[in-house]
Amino acid sequence: MTKIEKNIDAMDTNTKIKFSDLGLSDKMLAKITAKGYEYPSAIQAWVIPLLLNGNKDIIGQAQTGTGKTAAFALPVLERIDANSRDIQTLILAPTRELAIQVAEEIKSFADAWIKVQLLYGGQNIRDELSGLRSGPQIVVGTPGRVIDHLTKRKTLNIDKIKYFILDEADEMLNIGFKDEIEEIIEFTPKDKKVLLFSATMPKSIKDIVNKYIKDHDLVSIERNELTNSNIEQKCYKVNERDKFEALCRVIEVEFDFYGILFCRTKADVDDVAARLMSRGYKVEWIHWDIDQKQREKTLSRFKNSAIKILVATDVAARWIDVSNLTHVVNYTLPDNPETYTHRIGRTGRAGNKWEAISFVTRKDSRMLSWIEATIKSKIKVEKLPEIFDVIEFKKKRLIDNTKELLLNTDELNYLDLAKDLLELWDSAQVLAAILKEGYWKEFSTTHYSELKEENFSSSDRGGDRNDRSPRWDRGDRGDRWFSGVEWQKRLFVAKWKLDGFSPWSLIQFIEKETSSKLWDVGNIDIMREFSFINLANDDADFVLKKFKEFNPVKPLIVESKREWSGSSSSGGFARKSSSRGSSYRWGGSRGGFKKRD
């Protein structure tokens, strides 16, 4: 074994390493240049020449987001025989999302006549069978689906592959694919080249290496490369109960916020996303309880900037690759420093300098110190924006947006109405009256809660006594969140996933149909054949009235039936009033109501 441990930053101007220095063909370099890349990452700078010129297997250790896919895809594509109908490369990925991402990246560099076939659970099997019959040179798949084609259907032949690639190998083993990987290896030829890429090297990885990989090069990117110097890291120290309000203030004072917001649990993701949505933000969320097709649609909308905020768990978002993100937000700190570097590695790509923001409570103080020790850097503690800072920023944004509208003459559809209004009174007073009507809530200090900033050190043991307040008990709604469910109604909507609806698009649909803004939105469940949405009583009554007017016989939206129910099949709205008191749940597809002691 040859071990190559390099502390090289390929973006460093002192090294002057470019893709043109790595031995790639002019045709491939043209494609790389067309995508706007000039400097390779460290893992690319070392793996590409080894794979192009060497005969050994390769093990690459580097963090997710450092360009491992291109590190193996570029040289493999250089060696593909486009005239052959044999499968020449098999790439295994732990999840369908990563498999899709890897396949898309390969296709972006491949010639049109090179075929890449995806194999993963949940995809139409007929499409896969048709694709395999067409003679793909590269197959990208998840272990379970590949095994299905190899052993059950016998529709996959990999006895002539030249490259066997394990991407995110540690995750595949964590998920439990060890047996499948070993079974797949038995179907491959002995003279293949094995490439194994992993963020970590636990014992399970070493066992695979010792058993199946003999003579190899190990390229290990040292940890001090895992935090990009283009990322500005900062944190806000707050009480747990003030965290959401602090988050909203931080988002409000950022221009063109476009980022991923990480939570530790699925429940937190649902909670935070619904609250952000109720504030009017374009937000969607992903975790493993959301079905595959909906996750794919959500990720597509996020990559296309149709939504600006994505709330996610680590597992669901680990392989999201969006190069122009402006922010990654740690709404809750992760369980270890490595996950932290995985998260923030999504910003600061392509030479851009952006921000990684963390919200730190007293109980997080030791984790913060551990993260700082690991990344060998202090994370700057910032002061939260004051209420007046937020209001002034909103006023400035209104002025900027108005300037943009004035430059776009297509938007000036109300000149006649404006002239009529200006005849009523002094022009400044008329404009002030319109601003008061439309923006009184935006520019009023009473709309915001006072926040208490914390000043604690790493020696604090955590467990702030003031952090025991329930979720949803702050913000512009006062005690209505605390009081349980009496302030809102659950509505049944005859729109569903099959119509292509997401939580955000359902809100947009209702607002468009009623020509009214929804201010207080609770939980939203998009089911296969119908949906539910929780609205504040006033909003709910208005929506019900409107849709009754549209169709008196069979309204599209009606109030969900309330009943005492002992079960909840689909998990609806849930709030806890206190750690010792009763809890309430809106449950299941019937909108049932359940009280739990």
pLDDT digits (tens, 9 = 90+) for 325-338: 889 999 999 877 77
For the sheet with 327-330, list strands across it. Answer: 283-286, 309-312, 259-262, 327-330, 354-360, 231-237, 380-381
The C-alpha atoms of residue 119 and residue 132 are separated, in whole angstroms, by 9
Is pLDDT above 90 for 126?
yes
pLDDT at 471: 34
**250 and 368 assigned to the same domain:** yes
Q: Give the containing element (helix H, strand E) for 575.
A: strand 574-576
**19 and 127 assigned to the same domain:** yes
Q: Domain boundary at 178, 201, 225, which?
A: 225
- Whose CA is closest to 329, among 403, 222, 248, 270? 248
Give 554 or 11, the one with higher predicted confidence: 554
Provide, rounded to the nearest whole percent, the portion of the chain with pLDDT above 70.
76
Pairing outcome for strands 531-536 and 521-526: antiparallel
Is pLDDT above 90 for 152?
yes
* Residues 6+ positions from 528 with CB-CB distance below 8 Å: 496, 497, 498
- Whose CA is closest to 153, among 185, 180, 116, 126? 126
**323 and 421 assigned to the same domain:** no
Tokens standing for 436?
């008061």
Instruction: Name residue 270's beta-bridge partners.
Output: none
* Residues 6+ positions from 87 with CB-CB distance below 8 Å: 136, 137, 138, 139, 156, 157, 158, 160, 161
Instruction: Give the 3-state DSSP-derived string for 425-439, with helices as H, strands as E and coil as C.
Output: CCHHHHHHHHHHHHH
Is pLDDT above 80 for 400?
no
The mean predicted confidence, pLDDT, of the chain is 77
What is the total count of domains within the chain?
A: 4
Q: Give the containing element (helix H, strand E) for 141.
A: strand 138-141
Task: Kindly report, residue by residue over 21-44, the tens digit of the pLDDT.
Answer: 999 999 999 999 887 777 898 899
Is pLDDT above 50 for 235?
yes
Identify whether 473 is part of a domain.
Answer: no
Q: C-alpha distances in angstroms, 350 versus 41, 152, 162, 394?
A: 10, 43, 32, 30
The C-alpha atoms of residue 508 and residue 275 are separated, in whole angstroms, by 16
Instruction: Give the 3-state DSSP-derived string for 71-89, with helices as H, strands as E and coil as C.
Output: HHHHHHHHHCCCCCCCCCE
8-state DSSP, 196? E
**462 and 549 assigned to the same domain:** no
Burial of 577 (0-12, 13-18, 19+ CB in 10 A): middle
**Which CATH number do you get for residue 332?**
3.40.50.300
Is pLDDT above 90 for 452?
no
- Whose CA is closest to 593, among 504, 488, 471, 521? 488
Residue 197 region, left (φ>0) first, then alpha (ψ -120 to 50), else beta? beta
Lowest mean pLDDT among 88-97, 220-229, 515-524: 220-229
Is pLDDT above 70 for 90?
yes
**9 and 64 assigned to the same domain:** yes
Identify whether 438 is part of a domain.
Answer: yes
* Residues 6+ positions from 222 with CB-CB distance below 8 Å: 5, 6, 7
**514 and 458 assigned to the same domain:** no
Task: Kindly report, residue by residue over 474-493, the tens digit of the pLDDT.
Answer: 333 333 333 333 467 889 99
Q: Domain boundary at 169, 195, 225, which?
A: 225
pLDDT at 597: 33
> Are the C-beta atoms of 567 and 536 separated by less than 8 Å?
no
**516 and 401 assigned to the same domain:** no
> Are the C-beta atoms of 62 and 195 separated by less than 8 Å?
no
**247 and 199 assigned to the same domain:** no
The C-alpha atoms of residue 525 and residue 572 are separated, in whole angstroms, by 7
**207 and 257 assigned to the same domain:** no
Identify whether 510 is part of a domain.
Answer: yes
Tokens standing for 32?
């790389």
Q: Give the containing element (helix H, strand E) for 207.
A: helix 203-212
> Are the C-beta atoms of 390 and 448 separated by less than 8 Å?
yes
Work out the angle between the directed axes of helices 243-252 and 266-278 (0-180°, nearest 10).
50
Identify whether 419 is part of a domain.
Answer: yes
Tokens standing for 569?
């099949």
Burial 422-444 (b: 16+ CB within 10 A, else e): eeeeeeeeeeeeeeeeeeeebbe
Task: Kindly report, residue by residue over 73-82, the tens digit of the pLDDT.
Answer: 999 999 999 9
Identify whether 529 is part of a domain.
Answer: yes
The C-alpha atoms of residue 526 and residue 555 are separated, in whole angstroms, by 18
Identify whether 474 is part of a domain.
Answer: no
Give 119 or 255, the one with higher predicted confidence: 119
Domain span at 500: 482-596
Identify whether 412 is part of a domain.
Answer: yes
For the sheet with 574-576, list strands across it. Answer: 574-576, 583-587, 592-596
The highest-confidence range among 145-149, 367-371, 401-405, by mean pLDDT, is 145-149
The C-alpha atoms of residue 559 and residue 77 are separated, in whole angstroms, by 57
- Whose CA is closest to 526, among 300, 276, 281, 293? 293
Q: Give the containing element (helix H, strand E) for 356.
A: strand 354-360
Identify whether 114 is part of a domain.
Answer: yes
Burial 18-54 (b: 16+ CB within 10 A, else e): ebeebebeeebbebbeeeebebbbbbbbbbbebbbee
Q: C-alpha distances in angstroms, 444 versus 389, 441, 516?
A: 12, 5, 21
The C-alpha atoms of residue 536 and residue 488 are separated, in whole angstroms, by 4
Q: Domain boundary at 225, 247, 263, which?
A: 225
Mean pLDDT in residue range 384-406: 74
Task: Kindly report, residue by residue over 539-549, the tens digit of the pLDDT.
Answer: 899 999 999 99
**496 and 574 assigned to the same domain:** yes
**341 and 395 assigned to the same domain:** no
Q: Give the containing element (helix H, strand E) for 119.
A: strand 116-119
Question: SS3 for 109?
Answer: helix
Handedness of CA 375, 378, 383, 389 (dihedral sign): negative
Work out the angle between the directed axes of helices 537-550 and 503-514 (0-180°, nearest 10).
70
**175 and 28 assigned to the same domain:** yes
The C-alpha atoms of residue 153 and residue 161 are separated, in whole angstroms, by 19
Polymer length of the chain? 597
- Per-residue pLDDT band at 64 (split at 50, 70, 90): low
Q: Give the containing element (helix H, strand E) for 366.
A: helix 365-375
> Are the C-beta atoms of 510 and 517 separated by less than 8 Å?
no
